[in-house]
Amino acid sequence: MRVLEKTRLDGKVAIVTGAGRGLGREMALALADAGADIVAAARTQTQIDETAHLVRVKGRRCITVQTDVTNPGSVNRMVEATFAEFERIDILVNNAGGTTRGWNKPLENITDEQWHDGVSLNITSAFYCCRAVLPRMIQQGGGKIINVTSGLGVRASRYNFMYSTAKAGMINFTRALAMNYADKNIQATLILPGIFPHDDPQMMAFWQGGKFIPIGRPGKDNELGPACVFLASDLSNYMNGELIALEGGGLAGGEVPTGFAPVVPLPDGGQS
Amino acid sequence: MSREQFSLHGKVALVVGASTALGQAAAIALAEAGTDVAVATTLPTLLETEAVNACAHTIRTLQRQGFAKAIDTTSESEVAALVQQTVSELGRLDILVNALDLPFAKPLPEVSLAEWQRVLAVNLTGVYLTCRAASAPMLAQQAGRIINIVSVLGERGMANGSAYCAAQAGVLNLTRALSLEWARNGVTVNAIGAGWTDGMGMIANEQIKQQLARYIPNKRLAQPHEISDAVVYLASDATGFITGQVIWIEGGVLSRL
């Protein structure tokens, strides 16, 4: 098959959690562009209704399932609804997550409940979704699981404990999935998105236009979608347990604030 | 829609080390995706020369322009001439793929200084030379994609593989450093970390291949096209926010203990 034909997802069904806005909506729309039918899941019905409308405009089918990914019963119902409508599940994007109460506090002030809430939303949710979906994928003979991590899954930031811990956990959870289900033709991979302000002027201002990012700008939504399509498609069938980071170069450096070393000549002028 | 996002029509690529299984697959995948492609050897041996000539022929049967050149990639002047010829014959240079690969394994006490220097020269210094030469047209147009194909041995060690492992790891961190240097110039520098792939030089015989297949979670080696599919993705306009990264395509082998 020619390389560009492998980008197509026609006939495939994708569940995207957190599909009501932001990165989740963007990935759902990109998968639909590539030909997949979509299950849009999130807590807020009005937001997934809007996503579903945008998917249907592209000529793809879409159902919405109001879902609380921290509730295993709710997650199981999401998967049952998917199977009832489409009779298959090819792609699961574990995108739901975010900061929770207890964020931006020193560790000693975080309550038990706040800790568990943060970990539950950002990593236990992926366990619930994978547990519900894997039997279907195994039965079908394969599938793709795409987990969303963060720069905070590999580096730390001030007063950001539960999110960082869970997102780091997501990386090794993905390796464990890859390791254990590779022989079932299931590939588990990760997307690590940097800063994506989604053309929102307030977010753009908050992130200072991305001037601290090595490439000098934040990510564009139309850069995130193709990464998701790459990981969901036959283009990445030998990629397993590994990640694609879209973050403008920040992770490549981090030793010096500017990314540049001063010019240091050799003591002998380079003569040998 | 998705086809257009990954399409490379109108772009020009240079694949160095196109005589290897991975380099050849990359060159052909790029041509399929719409680029014109220049291909070059790692070293100007008869075998490599025939391989790149065949590769250029395939590129032209795909209705793309291209030429083959037998060069020694450790030669500063030959690499510079190759980049110049690419720009003069194909009009520009948008994508550089380094698939340089000189396989080598020996217990360290038996590795001569000459062997060590040779392995470093081909696997690492060659990448420095091609990146430096390609940077001129890329920085001038403030756009470019550099894709270095490395081995999993750049990330993990292997007994008797010291020189090769050191060189591959060198390419990985060269990739990160250059990505920062050219971050504001529209030139992204990334690596593809290739797992054990059919046709790779480091796989000495069939027995080792079978042992590897049992060890790899995916229970098989990669086919070259599975690596080159990612070359096409990284070469596309959709990856402007990815730089200094390695995309590992290794069938889960880095995930296991």
- Examine residue B257 and state whether it is found in any structural domain, yes or no: no
Q: Is B247 on the interface with A (CB under 8 A)?
A: yes
Distances (CA, A) of A90 to A31, A121, B189: 12, 23, 32
Q: Given B6, B251, B256, which is nearest A7 (Cβ)?
A: B6
Q: Please report which helix (H) or strand (E) contains residue A257, including its range.
A: none
Q: Is B25 on the interface with A (CB under 8 A)?
A: no
- Examine residue B122 and state whether it is found in any structural domain, yes or no: yes
Contact call for B180 and A249, based on CB within 8 A = yes
On the 0-12 / 13-18 / 19+ scale of CB atoms within 10 A, B50 is middle
Chain A residues with CB-CB distance to B32 below 8 A: 2-4
Tens digit of pLDDT for each residue in B44-96? 999 999 999 999 999 999 999 999 999 999 999 999 999 999 999 999 999 99
What pLDDT is attached to residue A7? Answer: 93
- pLDDT exceeds cutoff 80 at A256: no
Which of B182, B242, B249, B256 is most worth mutating to test chain A (most A CB atoms within 10 A of its CB)?
Answer: B242
Q: Which residues pair with B188 in a beta bridge?
A: B145
Interface of B with A in 84-143 (CB under 8 A): none
Tens digit of pLDDT for each residue in B227-242? 999 999 999 999 999 9
Contact call for B255 and A178, based on CB within 8 A = yes
Distances (CA, A) of B31 to A2, A5, A13, A144, B67: 10, 14, 31, 28, 12
Instruction: Tell me which chain B residue has its CA closest to the CA of residue A2.
Output: B32
Instruction: Tell me which chain A residue has its CA closest to the CA of residue B249.
Output: A239
The minimum CA-CA distance between A135 and chain B, rounded to whole Å, is 19
CATH of the domain at B43: 3.40.50.720
Distances (CA, A) of B91 to B11, B87, B96, B189, B237: 9, 5, 14, 22, 19
Amino acid residing at A46: T
What's the average model confidence in pLDDT over A151-174?
Answer: 96
Contact call for A248 and B29, based on CB within 8 A = no
Which of B24, B180, B189, B219 is most worth mutating to test chain A (most A CB atoms within 10 A of its CB)?
Answer: B180
What's the average model confidence in pLDDT over A4-29?
Answer: 96
- Prediction pTM value: 0.95
- Examine residue B256 and state whether it is found in any structural domain, yes or no: no
Q: B199: closest CA among B58, B3, B2, B19?
A: B19
* Residues of B taking part in catalysis: 164
Contact call for B33 and A253, based on CB within 8 A = no
What pLDDT is attached to residue B58? Answer: 98
- Examine residue B51 and state whether it is found in any structural domain, yes or no: yes
- pLDDT exceeds cutoff 80 at A270: no
Contact call for B247 and A246, based on CB within 8 A = no
For residue B52, what are its two tokens? 């790149």
Q: Please report which helix (H) or strand (E) contains residue A16, including its range.
A: strand A13-17
Range of the domain at B155: 2-249
Write down the ipTM of this complex.
0.93
Chain A residues with CB-CB distance to B223 below 8 A: 238
Contact call for A182 and B218, based on CB within 8 A = yes
What's the average model confidence in pLDDT over A198-210?
Answer: 91
Specify the 3-state DSSP secondary structure of B225.
helix
- Examine residue B24 and state whether it is found in any structural domain, yes or no: yes
For residue A239, what are its two tokens? 């990629």
Q: Given B181, B183, B255, which is nearest A241 (Cβ)?
A: B255
Chain B residues with CB-CB distance to A33 below 8 A: 1-2
Pick the catalytic residue from A128, A163, A181, A238.
A163
Contact call for A245 and B245, based on CB within 8 A = yes
Tens digit of pLDDT for each residue in A96-127? 999 999 999 999 999 999 999 999 999 999 99
- pLDDT exceeds cutoff 60 at B1: no
- Examine residue B255 and state whether it is found in any structural domain, yes or no: no
Q: Name the domain count of chain B.
A: 1
Chain B residues with CB-CB distance to A5 below 8 A: 3
Tens digit of pLDDT for each residue in B115-126? 999 999 999 999
What's the average model confidence in pLDDT over A172-190?
Answer: 98
Contact call for B255 and A253, based on CB within 8 A = no
Radius of gyration over every alpha carbon of chain A, rounded to an integer in angstroms = 20
Q: Which residues pair with A147 in a beta bridge?
A: A94, A190
Chain B residues with CB-CB distance to A256 below 8 A: none
Domains of chain A: 3-252 (3.40.50.720)
Spell out the residues 6+ positions from residue B104 whose beta carbon is closer than 8 angstroms to its own: B115, B118, B119, B163, B164
Chain A residues with CB-CB distance to B33 below 8 A: 3-4
Tens digit of pLDDT for each residue in B176-210? 999 999 999 999 999 999 999 999 988 888 999 99
Taking the C-alpha atoms of residue A133 and residue A145, their distance in angstroms, rounded to an integer, is 9
Contact call for B250 and A33, based on CB within 8 A = no
In sequence order, what DSSP letters do the residues of B119-145 get, joined into one string? HHIIIIIHHHHHHHHHHHHHHHHT-EE
Tens digit of pLDDT for each residue in A28-87? 999 999 999 999 999 999 999 999 999 999 999 999 999 999 999 999 999 999 999 999
Give yes or no: A163 in active site.
yes
The minimum CA-CA distance between A112 and chain B, rounded to whole Å, is 32
